[in-house]
Structure 1
Amino acid sequence: MLKTETPAQDHVLLDQYPTAELVNVLVDDQMNAVDAVRAAAPRIAAAVAAALPRVQAGGRLIYVGAGTSGRLGVLDSVELYPTFSWPHGRAVALLAGGTDAMFVAVEGAEDDLVQGADDLRAVNVMSGDVVLLVAASGATPYVLGALRAARAVGALTIGFANNVDAPVANEADIGVTLDTGTEVISGSTRLKAGTSQKIALNTFSTALMVRLNKVYGNLMVDLKATNAKLVLRAIRLTAFATGVDEAAARAVLEQCDFHVKTAIVALSKQTGVEQARALLEAADGNVRQALAD
């Protein structure tokens, strides 16, 4: 029996716990998710290093999963655009059962090996792409089908699993094992197994974006100001990075479509936005290098 499916022995009377104790047990068990990701950190770092040259050359991130794992992949993919201006077309998420499965479980979809391969080929997977395959069991047929199709074209495959010696991790170019063990509620991998996947995917994609010059210091300087909250964030980040007041920051941001990087360089170098853009382009989007030039 998979460890993630094995009934936990330390909470066999869970249904009789007082509510306060029940909540504490559920919260405390989540800490094991953090420990599992920390143990896998070297593998995540290796995945970032391997993915970097492919995405620098124009490759896409393609997430593949079923159920909770698939939904977490969708979540990570859609957040890259507003956070880092990562193009929608370069963050693709495949979920067993299709878009409807984001909201309603599609029975049997995860068991279809052929469909996983077909769905991946349908998005024209290429050798320059990075395919992230997520499965708590590590043996989900839909995910394995996609993995094998990705490897057939030479794409970089990164497999995330919550069981040791799982096929998804073993067959991928880089396997990341998140050994979260048994769940408080037996087999419910939406608990700490899912939490570990969220942390691991978040860590991978964020580290990758940092390496792609989407961050200056620890400031989110390549965001898309798509709503009022993000417009205010852009203004505050620009003011903080340059030392100007928010009115001055807004004035320059309005000239460059609220692109924080451009505004920071223009204000810091006391130049126009076109010159700031040119400096950033010459520095491959690296704000620190553009300021030094």
Structure 2
Amino acid sequence: MSVTIRNTYGTPHNVSDTNPAHVTSCDRYRLPLVGTIAPGNPGYEDMVEMLKDNGHDTRPEGYGLIFLESEEFSATYFGSIEQIEKYKRENVDGTATFDAQQGVTYAQWPHGKGWDEFLPRVFWNQAARGAIADGVGLVTAFAHTEVPGAEVIVYEFEGKWTHDSDPTQMVTYHCTACHMDTAHGGDVHENTGPDRRRWAARQARQHIVSAHRHGVGDKNSSCRPNGGEMLRAVNAVAKNRLGMTSNPLPDTDDVYCATKGPCSIIRELRAGVRPAVYRA
């Protein structure tokens, strides 16, 4: 059962012919990082191991690097140091281009020895580009195929894993049709780089595919509103055992989410307001 996933925010991406949750490329990228590596640099031998394994280690003097990123995809270009230094000189106003045919491009950004120390932590939302703060803001969003007006939204935010832990940058998705808590489902990720944002967006796409395949509310569907069942249970305990005369929590998921959950975060992000740190 095929489904077309439509963006309501962010850049449309190219996907597999057989799996709309699998992004294969993008037509437009940011180039957030540009640099060079050469023999003698810390970790150099480990960093070029991937090139050696694929028969691409052809520049004994070292490599110029361009790291590309979109909301749901990333790539790394290896060219000559001369080419990348020329690109940096010409890109003072941010309009320069480079010829990718002069080198080799790998999907995703590298990880492992050498690379983990070389690459800084980069967020999609950056204060220098007008974001509320680094790692705080919307990444992309998709129209829900089964519930008109609903969206599945991928966003970066500041959160805590536990009540007494330090805040950190996180990324996840939220469905405004079912208001599922992704924290309880293990779908909140530490926002360490483009691969984590790609994975969060993939999970958002999978959520839509599941809703399209099984319907909303089906036991086999990822999109299952619980109708406020847990909220009403908490309210009942508060009244019956604690003697409260009014509900401490809203009794519907959409109202709770709008006031205390992800919908409240997303509303503030869209308004350009920095949300409070969220307990994931």
TM-score grouping bracket, smaller chain normalisation: under 0.3
TM-score w.r.t. the length of structure 2 is 0.23
TM-score w.r.t. the length of structure 1 is 0.22
**When you count strand as a share of all residues, which structure comes out higher?**
2
Q: Which has the higher contact order (CA 8 A, sep 6+)?
A: 1
